[in-house]
Amino acid sequence: MGGSTKTALLSGLLGAVLGALGMWLATHGFTTSPTDGPAATPAGVAGETLKSDRPVPIAPPEAPRLDARTPEGGPSGSTATLAAAIEALVIETPQGHGTITGHVRTKDGAPLEGAVVRGFTMHRSWPRDRVGTVPSLPTVEASVRTFALDAKWNAAAMRETRTDKEGAYVLKDLVDAPCELGAWAVGYEIRRAGRDQESTLPGATVDFEANSVVPVLLTVLMPDGTTAVAANVFWSLPKRGGGGGGSWTTDDPVVEMEPGTWSVVAQVREQMRSKPVTVTAGATTDPVVLRLETRNAIEGTVHFDAADKDWVYATVEARRRGAASTDRADTQSPRAPDWTFRFGDLEAGDYDIIVWLADLAPLATQFVHVEGGTATVTLAIPRLGPAQVLEARVYGPDGNILGESDVGFSLTERTPTAVTGLGARAVRRPDGTFLIPLTSPRRMTQARAPGRTSGPDAARGVDAGPPTDDGPVRWSLQVRSKAHGAKEAEFVFGVTPRVEIRFDRSEGR
């Protein structure tokens, strides 16, 4: 019987079995439970606890058993039928003659003997979704068949060995395809040495570094004192730097750390985090208790007017009321299309949330009180006008509109006694118009002067208009082009909505 005919027959058999099983389950209901008995232990590593910083498929996981039952609770026998159908699937056993070699050494360079090293060539048979098409949804029968075939391929393609007295290993008979590598040894966390952490083709040399680890028993409590179900745990050196992290659950409350003194915290998403606790791994035997606390946070969204849909960035600041003018406020830069922001780990209290396009030119401010959780705020920006944004179109000598890579902008403020300039960011619309946020160069220069700060008053809405304490003010926009030189156009702050600048051939360099 030909291979293609056999495959077709087996596919039809599995489809029929799964189809009948699906109809029976839909009629009678089913429960999903893991297979009974201990998990299978790979050959040669009985009794060992293996650990790696990146998961590597070791062997096909045991499929969940569908325990179909009658309303009276009696078994239907479908488990055996499904297992037989999957077992009947035939794959072409992957063959190869590739080799990967390397060493496993400890942090101080000593060879590590007896470490398990595995190479695994992943088999991916799922169809690739194509851009511009609606992806098809596979049937249950097709999904189960694909999973089963992939698992069989993966098991057949895996190669395993152990390091010798010199810490050396040789993986042989690898399929000529990118290979995932992993190494494990009891009492060690082993990672690939160097920066290359990607899949590797046969013929390469890959070394690993092993760091000794010790178990640390943790208890994570909720804010009300009850035991948490799950959390993420992170540890770092007391003075920052280094460390690691891992998952914690009540069923598996032990994490493995390198011997030493660490600052350990537990966290549940962004909402809860414990205070850091100093732990000496290797010397601590009692459970380390980490109590979660609700994290104060402010999150929200910036909403621009529909007429300003081409704007792509903004700056949002969270400034605590009563803070000293020299205290640094938290800032974020929400961008299109979602315009969301979040300030976490805040002290309880009152805050002003300010949004602007240019420093010292607030567009909106909202008061927020946060305590014992997350406060939500929406910053609605009125339609931008000539006091916030200047539109500019820049033309080259040939009459074509110049692009972002061709020009740069700056604002200049002139009084009878001084001239002050300031570089300006710009956003280019699809039609070629530049949007330039306006701010006072004089006020920016004064705020940045030694011994001066912008202060809380500036952050809470000081008018961004031209100062009036030094005589009349004239404003202008400078445009510099690498190819065509520089030009300037005057405008009236708060009145002129748009300027046009045209370069002549005589102005080119």
- How do the domains of the chain map onto residue ranges? 3-130+137-211, 214-294, 297-380, 389-507
The answer to whether the CB of 391 falls within 8 A of the CB of 435 is yes
Residue with tokens 């800032």: 331
Sheet bearing 116-120, strands edge to edge: 159-162, 116-120, 180-184
Where does 157-203 show beta strands of DSSP type E? Answer: 159-162, 168-174, 180-184, 188-192
Please give the class, per CATH, of domain 389-507.
Answer: mainly beta
Q: So what's the pLDDT on residue 140?
A: 84
DSSP assignment, residue 507? G
Residue with tokens 């567009």: 363
d(CA 87, CA 110): 45
Q: So what's the pLDDT on residue 475?
A: 93
Q: So what's the pLDDT on residue 347?
A: 87
Sheet bearing 349-356, strands edge to edge: 330-332, 315-320, 349-356, 362-370
Q: So what's the pLDDT on residue 23?
A: 42
Which residues does residue 298 pair with via DSSP β-bridges, in sequence order?
A: 343, 375
Q: So what's the pLDDT on residue 487?
A: 92
Residue ranges, the chain, pLDDT below 70: 1-79, 124-129, 196-197, 240, 325-326, 360, 447-471, 506-509
Domains 3-130+137-211 and 297-380 share a fold: yes
Element (H, E) at 19: helix 3-28
Q: Which CATH fold topology does 297-380 show? A: Immunoglobulin-like (2.60.40)
Got the DSSP string for 306-326?
GGGTT--B-EEEEEETT--TT
Q: So what's the pLDDT on residue 440?
A: 84
CB-facing half-sphere around the CA of 264: CA atoms within 13 A? 30
CATH architecture classification, 3-130+137-211: Sandwich (2.60)
Please give the class, per CATH, of domain 214-294.
Answer: mainly beta
The answer to whether the CB of 392 falls within 8 A of the CB of 428 is no
